[in-house]
Amino acid sequence: MKAVILAAGRGTRIEAVTHGMPKCLLDFGGRTILDYQIEGLWAAGVSQIGIVIGHNGYQIVDHVTRTFSDGCDSFHFIHNPLFATTNNIYSLWLAGEWIGLDSFICLNADVLCHPAILLPAVSGKAPVSMIVDPQWRDETMKVVIRNHSVVQMSKSISRTEYSATYIGITTFSRQVAPLLFDEIGRVLGEGRADQFFNAAVQRLVDRGLHVGSIRTRGLPWAEIDDPADLQFAWSFVFPRLTRSSFAPSEERNQVPAVA
């Protein structure tokens, strides 16, 4: 399995804090959001990581190559030159050639989460698995689940309709990946590059694709879009991200074998 981290966006709602820095480089106790994601993926046995960059992407490349110097062969950087006018559906589309026929896990780069969330994610058996939290979170994509399948995904799902909150992490099997990228191509061909990639997943669901869900099991996470999200992450997520959750610091740059 490969991993794709979508990190091309500008993050306009939090620029007062980032001052133009990609928000995945926000620091939490000496580690960035991106560091936590990479270390969590390595701990889950995923060592091939593609990072789609755009806004000030050179800062991401510099950070990763410096911080994970012993594991540079793990990373593949993909540039989205249209980051200012497209959404993450286009970023994922650009990663398609690198993904090839592999299964993959896709993460929004602004998600700070406990690493134990990722292990069941990469071990899921459904063709597609969305990582969800039963708790309601404002301004975040929600899902409706019926008969153990996600049947609807949207930010407009109401509190009375929702089943869970999507945390911005999805896995795709090698059988589904070609179908997904074909559908993304159709969406882009319709001039809808401003969509989330979930628009393509929803269209596949409407045609009968089974999308499973994996719960966070009470483990902490935050999608950081604005200063309020950042405060939530500092108050309720970061205190539970202990160093014991990861490999010892002296082993930090060692890439584990793929499970």
Predicted local confidence at residue 124, as pLDDT: 86
Enter the pTM of the model.
Answer: 0.92
Half-sphere exposure of 254 (CA within 13 A, CB side): 8
Q: Which amino acid is at 228?
A: A
Domain boundaries, given as residue ranges, for the chain: 2-242
Predicted local confidence at residue 242, as pLDDT: 66
pLDDT tens digit string along 83-108?
A: 999 999 999 999 999 999 999 999 99
Q: Which residues of 120-140 are buried (b: 16+ CB within 10 A; e: fewer)?
A: bbbebebbbbbbbbeeebeeb
Predicted local confidence at residue 45, as pLDDT: 95
Which residues of the chain carry a pLDDT beneath 50?
Answer: 244, 247-259
Q: Which residues touch 191 (CB under 8 Å, ≥6 apart)?
A: none
Predicted local confidence at residue 251, as pLDDT: 40
Q: Under CATH, which number does the domain 2-242 receive?
A: 3.90.550.10
